[in-house]
């Protein structure tokens, strides 16, 4: 049986409620639950695609590397792509994410 961190789900619902001014709280809570359920599915999809591509190094998306303080080197192609669930929109839509390896990034100069 899956266990979810209810505190994180409720916190995410309140964040969405404050961000999306015209949405009722019930819709924000629904979106927070969709995001929580999508995390495990997305993690499985990423692991399967990474294994299928034969990648062993640490990988992340373009924006994920940016949050960590790195930038993708100019001209680098993604190692693999995967279709992930976008739960916070509330419709369960999917989007294509591209992943870059640790060898393809460099620290952002400060």
Q: What is the pLDDT of residues 43-53, one digit of tens each?
A: 999 999 999 99
57 inside domain: yes
16 inside domain: yes
Q: Would you state the pLDDT for residue 21? A: 86
31 inside domain: yes
11 inside domain: yes
Question: How far apart are the two ends of the chain, measured CA to CA in Å?
Answer: 46
**Residue 101's domain spans which residues?**
6-107
Tally of structural domains, the chain: 1
**CB contact at 8 A, 54 and 46:** no
1 inside domain: no
Residues of the chain with pLDDT under 70: 1, 87-90, 92
42 inside domain: yes
**CB contact at 8 A, 77 and 98:** no
Q: Would you state the pLDDT for residue 94? A: 86
| pTM for this prediction | 0.77
Q: Two tokens at 14?
A: 């309140």
28 inside domain: yes
């Amino acid at each position: 049986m899956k266990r979810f961190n209810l505190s994180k789900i409720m916190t995410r619902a309140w964040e969405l409620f404050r961000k999306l001014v015209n949405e009722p709280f019930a819709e924000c809570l629904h979106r927070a639950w969709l995001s929580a359920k999508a995390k495990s599915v997305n993690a499985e999809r990423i692991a399967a695609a990474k294994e299928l591509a034969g990648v062993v190094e640490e990988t992340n998306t373009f924006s994920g590397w940016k949050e960590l303080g790195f930038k993708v080197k100019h001209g680098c192609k993604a190692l693999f792509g995967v279709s992930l669930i976008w739960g916070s929109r509330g419709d369960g839509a999917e989007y294509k994410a591209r992943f870059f390896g640790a060898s393809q990034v460099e620290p952002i100069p400060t």
